[in-house]
Amino acid sequence: MKRIIIGILILAALLTACTKQETIGTEQELIGGQTEEYGCLGPAGYSWNSSVGACVREWELDESAREAAKIAVMPLSYRVTVTQVDVLRCPGCFVVHLQRNDNGNQMEIKLIDWKISSENPDENSEMTEIICSDAGGHWNECSNKCQLDNQGKEGMACTAMCEALCECGGIAGFNCPEGYTCKTPNGVADALGYCIKAV
C-alpha cells in the first residue's frame, strides 16, 4: 500500500513537472516570438546580417544596396533595422531608411559617392544623429526644449519628456549643421541650446 501511494505521488509530480515545462516553453515562445537577440523582427522577415551590422530583409537588398546600408550603419552605436534603401540618380548615391531597435525612432541617412552626406535628403526631413554629429553638434536622445529655453529662470516648471535634439553652444561650443542656427536663452553665458532651421 505504501509503495502504491509513493508511486502515485511520483507519477503526479512527474505529470505536474511536464505540464509546467510545456507552459513555460509556450510563454517563452510568445515573449521571444517577436524579436530575436539583436532586436530583429523575425515575423516581418527581418534577420541579423553581421556583414551589414543591422537587421535586414535579405531579399530586398541587392549588392549595392547592402553596401550602402553597411556604410550608413557603421558609425552608429546602437542596433538598427534597415527598412528601405532608395537608389538616387548619381553614382553611389542612396537614402538609407533606418529604425532603431530599442525605441523605434526612424531616421534617413543620405549617401553621396558612397560617403555619408551631411545634407538632408530633402528640406522637410528631420535632423538625424549623423547630420548633427558630422557638424560638431551634440546629439541628445533625451533632451528638453523647455528646459533649454528657460535656463536661469526661477520658478519655471517644464514637463519631463524626452525629445531627440541636436544640442549646440555651451562651454564645449557645439555647432549646428549648415542651414541651422543655435537657439540659446538670452542673458545666460555659455548656455546650452539646440539647433533650429535658419529662417
User: Three-state SS string across 67-100, please?
Assistant: HHHHHHHCCCCCCEEEEEEEECCCCCCEEEEEEE
Question: What's residue 182's pLDDT?
Answer: 93
Q: Which has more pLDDT, 43 or 158?
A: 43
- What is the arithmetic mean of pLDDT over 131-147? 89
Report how far apart, in Å, the C-alpha atoms of 25 and of each of 13, 21, 22, 74, 98 are: 18, 6, 5, 36, 33
Return the half-sphere exposure (C-beta side, CA atoms, 13 A cut-off) of residue 181. Answer: 5
How many Cβ atoms are within 10 Å of 1's Cβ, its own excluded?
Answer: 5
33 alpha-carbon distance from chain centroid: 20
Q: How confident is the model at residue 129 (pLDDT cuts 50, 70, 90)?
A: confident
- What is the arithmetic mean of pLDDT over 112-124? 64
Task: Copy the grid coordinates of residue 93.
Answer: 548615391
For the CA atoms of 26, 32, 34, 37, the dihedral, rounded to the nearest 10 degrees, stands at -160
- DSSP category for residue 197: E
- What is the arithmetic mean of pLDDT over 156-164? 75
169 alpha-carbon distance from chain centroid: 25
User: Over the chain, what is the mean pLDDT?
Assistant: 80
Question: What's residue 168's pLDDT?
Answer: 95
What is d(CA 184, CA 169) in angstroms, rounded to the nearest whole number? 8
Phi, psi of 145 (to 5 degrees): -60, -40
Give this prediction's pTM. 0.47
